[in-house]
Structure 1
Amino acid sequence: MKRSSGARLCATAAVGALSLALVTGCGSSDEGSKDSGGSKGSSSSSSAAASDAKALTKAELEKLLLAQGEIKGFKVDSGDDTLPASKSLVKTDKAECDPLAWSTAALAPGDTDASVGNTVSEDKASSAPTSLEELDEDAFADAFNLDMTFVGLSSYDGDGAEKAMKAVSDGVKACSSGYALKAEGETTKVTKVAPAEGTGGGDEAIAFSEDVDMDGEGTATFHTEVVRKGNTIATFYTVNFAAFGTGEAMKIPAAVVQAQVAKLK
Structure 2
Amino acid sequence: MKRSSGARLCATAAIGALSLSLLTACSDEGSKDTTDPKTSASSSAAASSDPAAKALTEAELEKLLLAQGELKGYKVDSGDDTLPASKSVVKTDKPACDPLAWATAALAPGDTDASVGNTVAEDKTSAATAKPTDLADAFDIDMTFVGLSSYAGDGAEKAMKAVSDGVAACAGGFGLTADSEKTKITKIAAAKGSGKGDETVAFTEEVDMDGQGKATAHAEVVRKGNTVATFYTVNFAAMAKGGDLGTVPAAVIDAQVAKLK
The equivalences for 1:173-212 within 5 A come to 173-212=168-207
Give 1:247 deviation, angstroms.
1.7
Give 1:20 deviation, angstroms.
2.4
**Aligned to 2:150, which of 155, 171, 175?**
155
The aligned residue for residue 120 of structure 1 is: 120
Cα distance in 2 for residues equivalent to 1:206 and 1:263: 19
Cα distance in 1 for residues equivalent to 2:160 and 2:200: 8
- List alignment gaps of at least 5 residues for structure 2: 1-6, 21-31, 127-132
The aligned residue for residue 20 of structure 1 is: 11
- List alignment gaps of at least 5 residues for structure 1: 1-15, 127-137
Cα distance in 1 for residues equivalent to 2:8 and 2:158: 34
The residue type paired with residue 56 of structure 1 is L
CA contact (8 A) 1:27 1:220 kept: no
Cα distance in 1 for residues equivalent to 2:157 and 2:193: 19
Residue 121 of structure 1 aligns to a residue whose secondary structure is strand
Cα distance in 2 for residues equivalent to 1:25 and 1:56: 31
Cα distance in 2 for residues equivalent to 1:55 and 1:168: 19
- Deviating above 4 A after TM superposition, structure 1's stretches of 4 or more consecutive aligned residues are none
Specify which structure has the bigger relative contact order, considering alpha-carbon pairs within 8 angstroms and separated by 6 or more residues.
1
The residue type paired with residue 122 of structure 2 is E
TM-score by length of 2: 0.83
CA contact (8 A) 2:234 2:245 kept: no
Confirm or deny that 1:42 pairs with 2:34.
no
The residue type paired with residue 82 of structure 2 is T
Cα distance in 1 for residues equivalent to 2:139 and 2:52: 46
Cα distance in 1 for residues equivalent to 2:125 and 2:208: 27
**Aligned to 1:168, which of 151, 155, 163?**
163
Give 1:257 deviation, angstroms.
0.4
Cα distance in 2 for residues equivalent to 1:71 and 1:81: 21
Cα distance in 1 for residues equivalent to 2:41 and 2:138: 37
Cα distance in 2 for residues equivalent to 1:260 and 1:224: 15
The aligned residue for residue 5 of structure 1 is: none
What whole-Å deviation, never above 9, does each CA across 1:42-101 have from its counterpart, x for those lacking one? 22xx44x62111111111100000000000000000000000110001000000000000
Pair 112,17 (structure 1): closer, same or farther in 2 beyond 3 Å: closer
Give 1:25 deviation, angstroms.
5.9
Residue 140 of structure 2 aligns to a residue whose secondary structure is coil
How many residue pairs get matched?
Answer: 232
Structure with higher Rg: it is 1
Give 1:216 deviation, angstroms.
1.0
Higher helix content, 1 or 2? 1
CA contact (8 A) 1:105 1:150 kept: yes
Give 1:246 deviation, angstroms.
4.8
The residue type paired with residue 102 of structure 2 is W
Give 1:210 deviation, angstroms.
0.5
Cα distance in 2 for residues equivalent to 1:113 and 1:90: 15
Give 1:19 deviation, angstroms.
3.2
